[in-house]
Structure 1
């Protein structure tokens, strides 16, 4: 006779595995950590398999736990999706959107009112984080990433390949000699972006000069430095130098005349921007609507007429 495990025990296993702790699982399930531990221990006794290694305050799945967790996570994700649909008559739509920190703090946050104006009230949780994003733990519905290699287990779609443009404020350009060649930028104040380990494939000023057949000297590293694309763009807007900015971020400012492209030499990025949607979210109407709107916003910036004359 087949033993049917306790549904509450399975729920405790899924929550503990996803969060990595009995305490976090207890907060999610609104029971004590001791109760979570008891439910899991009872389930392990029932099925005759150990599912967790208990290491200090954390728990790690055993081989048996790793084997069953993907199916268990999918099952409870589907149950949560059904619960959302059943309650949609009395609740607003909700959406968890994950993007890189630079996209979240200056780009997407300023555009979200446009989506709400078109589609009505939506409870949006906007998360700024680097790859890899914890899709299952945080129930992420949409993720914008640089490159398509981060999430092979989910549906990933290439949107567009962007480029970087050497941009500065009009008054900064007016104070300097005309930028008549790539080498003439060597004497200007350059603003550098420290992409960090996760952004190693993004181009630097050294890459930009090399692509223009210019060999910079050791002074290339002088100048201001920021640890995000948007921060570097703000420095350029303030008239402090020239930065390499993605079209995604600088199109609006170039259209408005707040920034100008200092020299017509553009370097294409090595990877495309991609949108990833987990299977559990793909059929939700609010996810489909946001995805279509999000793609349009990205394409509008990257293919902006104000940048069309400077394509690689």
Structure 2
């Protein structure tokens, strides 16, 4: 009869996989890194599977390691919860949310109080990061991504497809307008967004003019450049030019009268916004409640009636 793996070896593996290193796992378990390494090696030998790829001082889960981690992480999480409850700790809901930096800065952080007001005390970890994200290592419960091609091993649901709009401050339009047609913007001061090398598919002013049938020369690259959507919109709100703003991010400023949409030509983004939830989180009521709330907020901004041209 095969001898089952020891609880200690499984505990060492789970901690190393969750924390991303043997050293961190050793600190949590109050043992030496060598002891963690020995326990994991013994587990690998017993099940005849390599669980980690060891590169220099980092540890990366293999496919077999990811499969085992999915099987044990929930059990050890329950044990930690029971231990906390028995020791008199207060039991609270927790939620690990992962979004792009542009979503975390301002847009989501300003809306979270509304969710908290309706769902009580929740410990929230808000992570602003680029795709792909380490779902298991960081115990992420829900991820909002641009595009649905990153996490095929998890259930991913399309939420909405956004557009980009030319936006400027009302004072800028009064001073430099009228800007009623796409060709009028050729002479306007433009604000560009440097999306970075990993976001080459996002529209630029050149692609906006091309899609409107307007020939733009090299001078279209003149003006100011920001390295985030939020910064570009802030420059536009300050009256420094016309920016291309995603509906989700600029709707609130348009609704408040800080920005206007002077020209009706818009470009749809190539990919939809999607929500991904790992299997271990899909049965948690707080995760599903947040999913419904977040999807509603996204759609509300993207389809705001205020985004119609002025």
Aligned mate of 1:70, from 35, 47, 66 = 66
Q: Describe the SS at the equivalent of 1:157.
A: strand
Give yes or no for the alignment of 1:39 onto 2:39: yes
What SS does the corresponding residue of 2:208 show, helix, strand or coil? helix
Aligned to 1:214: 214
Cα displacement (A) at 1:60: 4.8
Answer with 133-142 or 33-42: which moved more.
33-42
Could you say what the CA RMSD is over the residues aligned between the two structures, in angstroms? 2.1
CA distance in 2, matches of 1:303, 1:84: 43
Deviation string 1:213-272 (CA, Å, 9 cap, x unpaired) is 011111111111111111111111111111111110011111111100021111111111
Question: How many residues get paired?
Answer: 305
Aligned residue in 1 for 2:178: 178
Superposition map of 1:57-206 within 5 A: 57-60=57-60, 66-83=62-79, 90-206=90-206
SS of alignment partner, residue 136 of structure 2: helix
Q: Is the 8 A contact 2:49 2:64 kept in 1?
A: no
Q: Is the 8 A contact 2:159 2:274 kept in 1?
A: yes
Q: Is the 8 A contact 2:14 2:73 kept in 1?
A: no
**Residue aligned with 2:126, SS:** strand
Q: Tell me, yes or no, if the aligned pair for 2:25 and 2:33 is still in contact at 8 Å.
A: yes
Deviates more, 1:200-209 or 1:1-10: 1-10
Relative to 1, partners in 2 of residues 1:27 and 1:186: Cα closer, same or farther, differing over 3 Å?
farther
Aligned with 1:43: secondary structure? helix
For residues 287 and 200 of structure 1, the distance between their equivalents in structure 2, rounded to whole angstroms, comes to 32
Query: Normalising to structure 2: TM-score of the pair?
Result: 0.92
How far apart, in 1, do the equivalents of 2:149 and 2:200 lie? Answer: 14
- TM-score relative to the length of structure 1: 0.91
Report the alpha carbon displacement of residue 35 of structure 1 after superposing the two structures with TM.
2.1
**1:85 CA drift (Å):** 6.7
Structure 1 gaps of 5+ residues are none
